[in-house]
Structure 1
Amino acid sequence: MFTGLVQAVGRLQRCPQGVRVSWLMQAGAPLGSVALGDSIAVDGVCLTAAELFADGFRADVSAETLARTGLAAKADQQAHVNLEPALRLADRLGGHLVSGHVDGGGRVRGISREPASWRLELAWDDPAYGRYICEKASVAVDGISLTVAGCDPGGDRFWIAVIPHTWASTTLAERRLGDRVNLEADLLAKYTERLLLEGGRPAAAAPAQDLSDSWLAEHGWG
């Protein structure tokens, strides 16, 4: 699990066994002590460090991951990527719970400068995922935990107010109109939907329980 708070930026490139991430900071690993087998979010994609180098690590990438994310194109371009190590139980949860399992892609539909932020407009490639988007909900964009400032009725197109610190310390400043981004909807929205649906039908509602004096006394509230 991750928080969506990017801790470093690296460079992605292809290698025979998958992809290789190189730190942009050469004075030691910017993520601290990365060990073999550690999970690291690379542009919001959970990858496992399969081989370590002085300046980065290598990770294996499945066909499913390549098809669902934009890693292949970024590796071919040797593009910059956002990096975050896995969450530890003692860490602060400053963003929101991010699984690193990207739901699908999206496109940048608008970028504009505002007095105290940047307005970033995005649209899902698959509009069906719009049902997980609502105002003030959380969404991970290339692994960055962001808050939805507003959205179209279907949620397939939405916009975000990005503060200057996030804009400058991640790859967002490099985004251009039409660029592809990895999107992961809030886990809470997906689990809630799954619990409410059984085979496409609403789950049976629990029987109503009257809060009578006798019920409260029976359950220790009397």
Structure 2
Amino acid sequence: MFTGIVETLGKVVALSREGTNTHFDIHTPINSSLKIDQSVSHNGVCLTVVDVSPEKYRVTAIDETLQKTSLGQWKEGDLVNLERCMPADGRFDGHIVQGHVDQVGTVESIKEKDGSWLFDVSFDPGTGNITVEKGSITINGTSLTCFNSRPGKFTVAIIPYTYENTNFHQLQVGDKVNLEFDIVGKYIQRIIKGYQG
């Protein structure tokens, strides 16, 4: 389980294909503390560390993950938001984040406003995912509060610290982002709507 509080940035230094899988080699300041079989959130996607060296570590994404997240668009040099799993005795600073991306959204607009930035994000509402005003949303693994919540759209405000210390400073209009909707909201929606077809 994660909290959505990004720990550091990693840089994609190499990609390689093996069948339908893609291996990503990533360099990060926390590289020396990682170990094989450890789960790490990469832009909100929980991936398992499969190899570690002093300069980089490797994770593998299966085709299902590549199809349902933005990982299939990664290239060498991209910066990735990283978070290790929350320790059982740690502080819970964000919200419950599973590292299981629900769908990909699109950055519709970015506006600078008095030292912070407003990001408008859209998503396909046909999947049944929803946001609520002042509710939690995870974008590329970052725990945020959404507002201007409406079907298929919402806005988040990014403070300077988050802007500089995550990959939000690299995002542009039209970019795809990984979205994980609030788990509590997903359970409530399932209880109300039940299982369909």
Q: Scaled by the length of structure 1, what TM-score is found?
A: 0.81
Name the counterpart of 1:190. 186
- C-alpha distance in structure 2 between counterparts of 1:97 and 1:120, whole Å: 22
Summarize the Cα distance change of 1:199–1:69 in structure 2 as closer, same or farther, 3 Å threshold: closer
Number of residue-to-residue matches in the alignment: 193
Question: Deviation above 6 Å: which 4+ runs of structure 1?
Answer: none
Q: CA deviation at 1:24?
A: 4.3
CA deviations over 1:46-89 (Å, ceiling 9, x no partner): 00001111122111211110000111211x35411110001111
Greater Rg over alpha carbons, structure = 1
**What one-letter code is carried by the residue in structure 2 that aligns with 1:68?**
K
**What one-letter code is carried by the residue in structure 1 that aligns with 2:39?**
S
- C-alpha distance in structure 2 between counterparts of 1:71 and 1:169, whole Å: 20
CA deviations over 1:134-179 (Å, ceiling 9, x no partner): 1101111000001002223x2x111111111101100001011101
CA deviations over 1:9-38 (Å, ceiling 9, x no partner): 11223124532242244xxxx266211100
Q: Does the CA-based 8 Å contact 2:129-2:181 persist in structure 1?
A: no
- C-alpha distance in structure 2 between counterparts of 1:122 and 1:65, whole Å: 21
- C-alpha distance in structure 1 between counterparts of 2:166 and 2:17, whole Å: 27
Name the counterpart of 1:141. 139
- C-alpha distance in structure 1 between counterparts of 2:27 and 2:104, whole Å: 25
Q: Does the CA-based 8 Å contact 1:138-1:146 persist in structure 2?
A: yes
RMSD: 1.8
Q: Does the CA-based 8 Å contact 1:141-1:183 persist in structure 2?
A: yes
Q: Scaled by the length of structure 2, what TM-score is found?
A: 0.90
In structure 2, list runs of 5 or more residues that go unmatched: none
Aligned ranges 1:28-39 → 2 under 5 Å: 30=30, 33-39=33-39
